[in-house]
């Protein structure tokens, strides 16, 4: 079978497809390149078959046409897009988690940065990622490509008002810590009570003043002289994995 997928929701690459299968994301069909079946492809096909996911083949040139900008390795999956969670679902997500924690992104607008932040959050075991519904990147195709399967692993929850959402989390006992390059307290010297909400700011100005006022603590990542700031996705990764280190 080699007809073209019916819509534009697909992912490519063995890692991304395997992550989607493991996360339980609905997959409509797995496509493998004709004449290029190897051990990795056979293993993935077997896993898909065990989950009742149809497996089909198509010429490599056709797969290239479907995903021209993705290194798909001869492996493409037709998928249902990951859902954005409703704000009303956040309390349940946190209540059901063991030792929950949250990443809050304050107007991160670059899809590549959001995708990278989601990937770090998933790798660190963050319970949920929240972000403003307006003036911020959403869960687009570009974001999902950069996230490389993380969008299916960590719930992404757009909120109407970030400051109000942070206040509700504080009322539930969370400690809100913001990343601010001008803060006097070093990340490595700060106490990080649990449960924690990490707040990272957007590309232009970092954390907004209103958001900063809702933080219990602002910390900076120490850097060499002459360096002012890190990319938001890099800074987020540093903070998240410092938290992981302390938890362990």
Query: Do 138 and 99 belong to one domain?
Result: yes
The last residue of one of the domains, among 79, 97, 126, is 79
Signed CA dihedral, 70, 76, 78, 84: sign only: negative
Q: Which residue has the tokens 């991304």?
A: 16
The last residue of one of the domains, among 59, 79, 99, is 79
- Give the model confidence (pLDDT) of 135-161 as tens digits: 888 777 778 777 777 777 899 999 999
Regarding beta strands 102-106 and 55-58, do their DSSP bridges make them parallel or antiparallel, or are they unpaired? unpaired
CB atoms within 10 A of CB 128: 21
Residue 176's DSSP bridge partners are 197
Instruction: Please answer whether residues 199 and 106 qualify as being in contact, where contact means their C-beta atoms are separated by less than 8 angstroms.
Output: yes
In the three-class reduction of DSSP (H, G, I as helix; E, B as strand; rest coil), residue 157 is classed as strand
* pLDDT at position 7: 44
For residue 99, is it within any domain? Answer: yes
Binned at pLDDT 50, 70 and 90, residue 26 comes out as: confident
- Give the model confidence (pLDDT) of 91-140 as tens digits: 999 999 999 999 999 989 888 999 999 999 999 999 999 999 988 887 77
For residue 200, is it within any domain? Answer: yes
Query: Do 94 and 198 belong to one domain?
Result: yes
Angle between helix 14-23 and helix 39-50 axes, rounded to 10 deg: 20
pTM given for the model: 0.76
Instruction: Say how far apart CA 218 and CA 177 lie, in whole Å.
Output: 6
CB proximity list for 87: less than 8 A, separation 6 or greater: 157, 158, 159, 160, 165
pLDDT exceeds cutoff 80 at 191:
yes
The last residue of one of the domains, among 55, 79, 103, is 79
* pLDDT at position 225: 77
Q: Which residues constitute the domain of residue 111?
A: 87-247
């Amino acid at each position: 079978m080699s007809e073209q997928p019916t819509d534009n929701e697909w992912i490519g690459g063995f890692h991304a497809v395997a992550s989607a299968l493991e996360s339980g994301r609905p997959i409509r069909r797995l496509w493998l390149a004709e004449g290029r079946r190897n051990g990795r492809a056979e293993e993935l096909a077997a896993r898909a078959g065990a989950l009742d996911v149809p497996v089909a083949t198509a010429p490599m040139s056709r797969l290239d046409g479907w995903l021209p900008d993705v290194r798909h390795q001869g492996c493409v999956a037709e998928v249902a897009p990951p859902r954005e969670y409703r704000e009303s679902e956040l309390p349940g997500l946190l209540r059901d988690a063991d030792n929950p924690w949250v990443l809050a992104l304050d107007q991160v607008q670059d899809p590549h940065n959001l995708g990278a932040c989601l990937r770090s959050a998933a790798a660190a075991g963050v319970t949920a990622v929240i972000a403003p519904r307006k003036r911020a990147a959403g869960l687009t195709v570009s974001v999902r490509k950069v996230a490389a399967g993380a969008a299916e692993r960590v719930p992404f929850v757009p909120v109407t008002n970030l400051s109000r959402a942070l206040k509700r989390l504080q009322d539930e006992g969370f400690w809100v810590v913001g990343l601010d390059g001008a803060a006097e307290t070093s990340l490595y010297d700060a106490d990080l009570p649990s449960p924690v909400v990490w707040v990272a700011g957007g590309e232009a100005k970092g954390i907004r003043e209103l958001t900063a006022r809702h933080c219990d603590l602002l910390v900076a990542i120490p850097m060499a002289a002459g360096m002012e700031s890190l990319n938001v996705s890099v800074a987020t990764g540093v903070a998240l994995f410092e938290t992981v280190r302390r938890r362990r």
